[in-house]
Amino acid sequence: MAAITKRTATSPLTELFDWIESGWPGVAELRREGAHMMRIEDRMDEGRYVIRAELPGIDPEKDVEISVADGVLTISAERREEVTEKGRSEFHYGSFVRRVSLPTGSKEDELSAHYSDGILEVDVPLEESKPATRMIPVARGPSE
């Protein structure tokens, strides 16, 4: 009798990310260079922009570098891990890089980062400014 496998429901976005990670030409280039994709999620939350990156098995003090320049946040990490079990060992290693464009009004000098349970969270405070709305009159006739 054949085993029946139950497929868990996944979002289309997750499936797209998995597809990109496994075979999109640009990603193949990253893999040749030794870099891997890093899964992230982001959200706006009461005057701040929060980015969460999935980085299990990372020592944040030794293996994570976060930088920001010209409105772009860069998270770089490297995993070095060996698992030994019943005479068998397996290595998990590689470099991870992810760049994120920060929203307008980001206070780049006030970023903070925390790592807990395999999740890196970067907190970006935002300026509390209301965008000015300007009405543009529409003129009739040919433009000059």
Q: Quick check: is 21 in a domain?
A: no
Question: How many residues are there in the chain?
Answer: 144
Could you list the residue range(s) of the whole structural domain that residue 74 is in?
35-125
pLDDT tens digits, the chain, 144 residues: what are they? 444 444 445 566 666 665 555 554 444 444 444 455 788 999 998 889 999 999 887 889 999 999 999 999 999 998 776 677 777 776 667 788 899 999 988 999 999 999 999 999 999 999 987 767 889 999 898 876
What total number of domains does the chain contain?
1
Q: What is the CATH number of the domain that holds 55?
A: 2.60.40.790
